[in-house]
Structure 1
């Protein structure tokens, strides 16, 4: 029994191994270790008053993300991929600026690991995209990917996934809803089989949620998933009005309803 205790204590005391971040950009592919990033000349200690992952104030050692994005222009498109298949689609422009909202890559120190995200859950490491002053650029929670292992430059969503596009003559509200879908939904969900995420279900195949949520239940579900359908494995966050306004929510639902008429075999 004592030997088992000693072995368990030893295992728990082992330091977290250094991690690697892969950058696949137009300038080429490179891999950076957490050790190298923690030695970066622009590494700073920053305070995030309302951290999305931890839901409280957090302090991090972080590098300005713009310094890592060599060769990236404001019109480019990036994707941050997490360990669990979450794939955040990110316009490059907000990532490159130091005015208003500012993007940082928080780096978990293997010798001082971050807290777990919950019981029997890992931390938000090894790398976490956090924002200073996120409200200045309307940065939503899906633009805070954690457990990041890869950041890559890709073609625009319209080029990569035409199956997501509404009809050319779709209303301005549907087009606005498509923009909200890209910002808030595509990191976890596919639609018509299109998308890179492996995290959540397809939102059009075999059925669109507007086909099985009656009345205002879909809007209520988006606002508070656990309040409408509570289950321990539920991972979808709620989208409060400060993140997704009533007008934006209505447009998102109108886009989803519009796409019921544009189902594609997959």
Structure 2
């Protein structure tokens, strides 16, 4: 199905039993490209795509899991049409029902190993996941290779509701560090923010909705010391119970780059305020 075809199939709320396990028949994913949107139901995807049964170690659960789902690339081909990687877009954003949003480059998404799963084979109705013991359904994006982790920029959103093709600077102009060289530390920090932080945090009210905005109304570098920020970002679990994961793999240089990005964005905000 090309992107121009609108999929508007409204199903009565019911349960579809697949191999004896319950699956929500009215589950659907929304796809957005430019000014157009389309919806695919689980039933439509099952009719058009091969279903794979997967078994691998799921880092979100910390143990081996078994799922049924569709290859990510096949879902994207069905929704956006073949050739979506060659279009004039740079990123894709995966949005969850709770406001969590994960941005990934198109290069990563074309790799083998990504699947949108719709069924937990061993736990009808899904096994709860995370600190809040959330239900990850109706759709959960997983990666089967050990190196395809969030630490390497691969999105793992559960409760997946929407997938959007975008040009990053068009969608998030207030997050992009305009006016700096791509070799600058602040640009390296921006890339880290985009891959690691933006899933939960906003910059100038654009981005994630789970955690606080890091530049509005004040930047975190304006009321926290560099040492405190680096310690907290690296291991927030040592300071408080929260949704924020530890980032113990980030080097001192990575953290310095991230603070350089925060500082650049704080300066840009001050310049705008002074002009007004």
Q: TM-score normalised to the size of structure 2?
A: 0.75
The residue that corresponds to 2:50 in the other structure is 42
Say whether residues 1:84 and 2:90 are aligned partners. Answer: no
Say whether residues 1:126 and 2:138 are aligned partners. Answer: yes
Say whether residues 1:64 and 2:75 are aligned partners. Answer: no
Give the structure with the larger strand fraction: 2
Task: Tell me how far apart the structure 2 counterparts of residues 55 and 209 of structure 1 sit (CA, whole Å).
Answer: 32
Task: Tell me how far apart the structure 2 counterparts of residues 89 and 119 of structure 1 sit (CA, whole Å).
Answer: 22
RMSD over aligned Cα atoms: 2.9
Report Cα offsets for 1:135-156 as digits up to 9, x if no partner: 26986476111110111222x2
Q: 1:188 aligns with which of 192, 200, 203?
A: 200
How many residue pairs end up in the alignment?
Answer: 241
- Within-5 A mapping of 1:108-257: 108=119, 112-117=124-129, 121-133=133-145, 135=147, 140=152, 143-154=155-166, 156-169=167-180, 172-195=184-207, 197-228=208-239, 230-231=240-241, 234-241=242-249, 244-257=250-263
8 Å Cα contact 1:116-1:124 kept in structure 2: yes
Instruction: Give structure 2 stretches of 5+ with no counterpart.
Output: 1-21
Instruction: Give structure 1 stretches of 5+ with no counterpart.
Output: 1-14
Residue range with higher mean Cα deviation, 209-218 or 185-194: 209-218
Say which SS state the counterpart of residue 57 (structure 1) adopts.
strand
Q: TM-score normalised to the size of structure 1?
A: 0.78
Task: Tell me how far apart the structure 1 counterparts of residues 261 and 43 of structure 2 sit (CA, whole Å).
Answer: 44
Residue range with higher mean Cα deviation, 199-208 or 139-148: 139-148
Report Cα offsets for 1:179-235 as digits up to 9, x if no partner: 11111111211112233x32221111122222222242211111221212x24xx21
Task: State the shift of 1:68 in Å.
Answer: 1.3
